[in-house]
Amino acid sequence: MRKIVFGFLGYVLLELALLIVVGKLIGVLPTLLLVVATSVLGIYVVKNKGMNSVRSVKQALENREAPGTAMVDTMLNFSGGFLLALPGFLTDVLGVLLLMPISRKLFQPIVYYWMRKKMKHNQVIIVQK
């Protein structure tokens, strides 16, 4: 629990320091506009790209194909858009990396590993209607 609290506190302080440094470099108003613009972009990405990813998962299921890759892409797209919507430059950088197809390939094995680990320990619940 302490690690989580100190990790979150460190993250917040680092984001705040970055905002101050960028504010001094380019000015307060451009910094605020940049934060607002990336938040709006993140919301747009979650809404549009996320829905397209969900459609690709549905299409894979309708074609009786394993939706593994489509599900991972959907998760990474949603996570990237969500991180862009959060204020701060660290989250923006990570969000952009999750959205770019080239760098997304680097994150896919991590997600697959995490999913396999959850399934191995019976921490995944599949609901069937």
The per-residue pLDDT for 52 is 80
pLDDT at 128 over 50: no
What average pLDDT does the structure give for the chain? 85
pLDDT digits (tens, 9 = 90+) for 45-88: 888 877 787 788 788 878 887 777 778 888 888 888 899 999 88
Is pLDDT larger for residue 37 or for residue 75? 37
Alpha carbon distance 100, 69 (integer Å): 16
pLDDT at 129 over 80: no
pLDDT category of residue 125 using cuts at 50, 70 and 90: low
From first CA to last CA, the distance across the chain in angstroms is 37
DSSP type of residue 87: S
The per-residue pLDDT for 69 is 78
Tokens 């939706």 found at: 67
